[in-house]
Amino acid sequence: MKRGMALKATESVKNYPSSLRMYTNYATREIKKVCKEVGPRASGTESERKAQEHFKEEMKTCADDVQLEEFEMHKYAFMGWVVIDGLSMLLALLFSFLKMPVVSLVLAVIALVCLFAEFLMYWEFLDPLFPKAISTNVIGKRKPTGEVKRRIIFAGHVDSSYEWTYTHLGGKNLLFTVGIYAVVGMIFVFVVSLVSVIKGGAVNAELDGFVKILQYVQLAFIPGFIAVLFFTNFKLPVDGANDNLSGCTTAIAVLKFLEDNDIRFENTEVCAMTAGSEEAGLRGSRAYTKRHLKELQEVETVYFGMDTLRDYEDMAIYSRDMTGTVKTDPRVCALMKKGAEMAGLDLPYSSVYLGASDAAAVSKLGVPAATLAAMNPGPPKYYHTREDTADNLIPKTVEKGLDICLQSLFLYDEQGLKESY
């Protein structure tokens, strides 16, 4: 069926609810298959590439053009900053008692800069210190019958995280306790070091009674600095069934739906993308957008990100990303919100309060983007832990995510990108 007139997604097939269930079943089967046959997929590893090769073959059944693109990244660099911070702070304490507060100050500054650059801003700040590796993106394109006048990319990331030790051991309470304890300690040591330099000099500092007391108070933060050394278990990548095979397979299910029902738009190109190395600091989405920026800006392009389609009651549109520092495109958010409304949900706008999604990297490069997610912002116990398995999926949420994608797609083909719908 060629699209010659405006249709809603619900009007595109005879039994839309049944079709939704069928393609949801496809998406969940694919998640289970990848978890079983490939397993964990840490960024820049052979297992990540194996999953990408599988998705490339899946896309060939429903896309006109499928490309697997390599890019260079640095393994462990993104979460490696946590280890660097812990070691820096322990050394800062040591040099404080060696009467070299200027060294302590420099080390504290290094730790705070790493926190800001890597965690808050996702800069590739520490990459040169870590080993290079090759990661991949896969992009499948379903071309229109006529000239491409607009494009929409449905995307998820294929890689899975290394386990976060304290989320696994104690959930969000332990995670935030360790994190806050360590960050407060970093700031405290920075302040004490700065005061010590001002009052006692850069080296061989002779400190007065009050500063001496503060110097000893610093020791209370040693457990926090040691704890962060074990924040990430680099020996245990997780399955990442929800985060984020759910986004990947839903994106491909959109193309499957179009192919199986012989739906091809007149001027809208529909793409599915499985990005690599999101858990390494959004490296895949950034690499793809940089490489194809001219193409993505030549015609109107929408990046429709999906991440962790699991917690139905927490489904939301991320209007702010990267710990709230990046504003995603309000037009894409409006498209998602209207698509959700057509699917029967009044979704709230929300923010990625800690961390980021691929849409942040795409947005920062000037391409309209936003993310649809369904994850308890707690974060939940399964987030970045061994509990994120295929047995822990909620198909109802995947189905609603797919519904929102299709509703948004048909709406976008009809009306393009607008401030409101």
For 323, the 3-state DSSP assignment is coil
CATH placement of domain 9-74+133-161+238-415: 3.40.630.10
- Give the model confidence (pLDDT) of 104-125 as tens digits: 999 999 999 999 999 889 999 8
pLDDT at 353: 84
State the Cα–Cα distance between residues 270 and 272, nearest whole angstrom.
7
State the Cα–Cα distance between residues 284 and 67, nearest whole angstrom.
14
Contact in structure between 304 and 370 (CB atoms under 8 Å): yes
State the Cα–Cα distance between residues 16 and 18, nearest whole angstrom.
5
State the Cα–Cα distance between residues 170 and 166, nearest whole angstrom.
6
Res 322 pLDDT > 70? yes
Res 4 pLDDT > 70? no
Rg of the Cα atoms in the chain: 24
Res 61 pLDDT > 90? yes
- Give the model confidence (pLDDT) of 301-319 as tens digits: 999 999 999 999 999 999 9
> For residue 211, with 0-12 CB atoms within 10 Å meaning exposed, 13-18 middle and 19 or more buried, which class applies?
middle
Res 72 pLDDT > 90? yes
pLDDT band for position 2 (cuts 50, 70, 90): low
Q: What is the mean pLDDT of residues 2-20?
A: 84
- What percent of the chain shows pLDDT beyond 70? 98
In angstroms, the Cα distances linking 288 to 38, 58, 60, 284, 335 are: 24, 20, 19, 6, 23
Q: Which of 33-37, 201-205, 240-244 has the lowest mean pLDDT?
A: 201-205
> For residue 235, with 0-12 CB atoms within 10 Å meaning exposed, 13-18 middle and 19 or more buried, which class applies?
exposed
Res 5 pLDDT > 70? no
Q: To the nearest whole number, what is the mean pLDDT of the chain? A: 95
Q: What is the dihedral of CA 384, 389, 394, 400, to 10 degrees?
A: 70
Contact in structure between 156 and 304 (CB atoms under 8 Å): no
- Give the model confidence (pLDDT) of 220-262 as tens digits: 999 999 999 999 999 999 999 999 999 999 999 999 999 999 9
pLDDT at 204: 66
Contact in structure between 266 and 146 (CB atoms under 8 Å): yes
Task: Give the single-character DSSP code of 276.
Answer: S
Q: What is the 3-state secondary structure (H, E, C) of 364-399?
A: HCCCCEEEEEECCCCCCCCCCCCCCCHHHCCHHHHH
For 93, the 3-state DSSP assignment is helix
Task: Let me know the angle formed at the C-alpha of 28 by 24 and 29, rounded to the nearest 5 degrees.
Answer: 115
Domain ranges of the chain: 9-74+133-161+238-415, 79-126+167-233
